Amino acid sequence: MITIVSEEQDIMTDLTMEWLARRKTPTRRIQNYEPQTFRIEIDNGGSSAAGPISGNSHYWTRRGKENYIPATIDHHFSENLPVYRYLEQDELVVSSYVETKRKQQLNHHDTGSFFAEKKNNKLINLELAKSVHLLIPPTCVTNSKKVLAQFIRRHKQVITKDLCAPVYLPGDKGTLTSSGVISIGLSDLDAMADNFAAVFVQENISKQFEIRCFLFRKTIFSMAIFSQNDQQTTTDFRNYNDARPNRCVPFQLPPSIASKLWKFMALAELDTGSIDLIYTPEGEFVFLEVNPMGQFHWLSENCNYYLEHFIADSFTNA
Amino acid sequence: MQPETTPFLPLTIQRAVFRPRKEKSPDLTVKISSSLYQSKRVNQQVIHRPISQMIKK
């Protein structure tokens, strides 16, 4: 049995399941909102567990995680109430145990991790990338206007982006959503107090093009994104121009860079993820960040990688 | 909620985009099933080119 945990809208899960169905491979899809029944017993004679841990030959945590909060609780309490948050903390203990045990049992037949996504830390990842001799942009995180001004004076061209996840603040009348990567100059500091919540800034690295890599187990698929011909996407291709999309073509990383990325993945304890790189006018590769559960359907389709086929094969041939 | 401009917040929040909630009419709600997705690509191949050829001069 192959189990895939995902979100309802994730198209790569749909496509991969179509291939698995074609192969007549028994597959179970768990939507991240579906309440799961479970049992964990630990005593002096050992431990036993039932539910999502048992009965799997492969497990792929594509997006989100299993939900162990019963529907009755979901219906009874708003997600914003303290009691719900308290229950969520308890649930994370269960989820963490289940994931740990499953990885022990299935070893390399368990791909992806909710907790890798949850603990994903841009600052630690930059340190790890640096330790395997990947270039990184000069970076600063501060809550001080004075320090921020010094960094901008030193690096001239500076961008700021989300330190953790993109801004998503739902309210009664609408939602505040991230405006992506923003160029920041000294004049922008006028709107800021002397001290503020943490701000993440990096030197704006000149680009010939950007590279998005999808890594799955032991294979890398890369795509060059020509974001520099469009003012909207010059700072970051993720400031998407839907009317006139960037040109995206297959790209083969030099073996030396691919080798460094695998070393980085090992240090970050990741077996899958999407990595963003910059290719500079000087011909250097600069590491930006990794997303353990990033989207890769657009990479697959633009480059004809047929990743859904590849992933389904990797489950059935392993 | 309107865009937050308090100076104690990082620019990522100050510059966040406000998207008003859309009032949906139940009669017009259409749910598109992901199973309806059909790829029109048929055996298109991956073509790797040298960097020099990829960059339009």
Give contacts of A167 with chain B, Cβ < 8 Å. Answer: 12-13, 16
Reported as a pLDDT band with limits 50, 70 and 90, residue A300 is: very high
Q: Is the torsion defined by CA of A162, A165, A166, A169 positive or negative?
A: negative
Domains of chain A (ranges; CATH) run: 2-116 (no CATH), 138-203 (no CATH), 209-291 (3.30.470.20)
CA distance B26 to chain A (A): 19
Starting from the edge strand earliest in sequence, which strands make up the sheet with A110-111, in order? A27-31, A2-6, A58-61, A110-111
ipTM above 0.90, yes or no: no
Chain A's closest residue to B2, CA to CA, is A176
State yes or no: pLDDT of B3 exceeds 70: no
What residues contact residue A78 under an 8 Å CB cut-off, 6+ apart? A84
Please indicate whether, in this complex, the C-beta atoms of B7 and A162 are within 8 angstroms of each other: no
Instruction: With H, G, I as helix, E, B as strand and everything else as coil, classify residue A114.
Output: helix
Reported as a single tens digit per residue, the pLDDT across A156-175 is 999 999 999 888 888 888 88
Reported as a single tens digit per residue, the pLDDT across A202-243 is 999 999 999 999 999 999 999 999 988 877 777 777 777 778
A162 near B CB under 8 A: yes
Residue of A15, A171, A195 lying closest to B1 (CB–CB): A171
CA distances from A239 to A213, A227, A245 (A): 18, 10, 11
Q: Please state, in angstroms and rounded to a whole number, the distance separating the CA atoms of residues A269 and B36.
A: 36
Q: Which of A149, A106, A311, A288 is nearest to A215 (CA)?
A: A311
Q: Please state, in angstroms and rounded to a whole number, the distance separating the CA atoms of residues A128 and B50.
A: 29
State yes or no: pLDDT of B39 exceeds 80: no
> Among A57-66, A226-235, A285-294, where is mean pLDDT lowest?
A226-235
Enclosing H/E stretch for B20: strand B17-20
CA distances from A258 to A35, A89, A117, A213 (A): 39, 38, 22, 10
A15 near B CB under 8 A: yes
Q: What is the pTM of this model?
A: 0.88
Reported as a single tens digit per residue, the pLDDT across A80-130 is 678 888 888 999 999 999 899 888 888 778 999 999 999 999 999 999 999
Chain A's closest residue to B20, CA to CA, is A174
**Higher pLDDT among residues B55 and A116, named by residue:** A116
Q: Please state, in angstroms and rounded to a whole number, the distance separating the CA atoms of residues A23 and A47.
A: 35
Q: What is the mean pLDDT of chain A?
A: 90
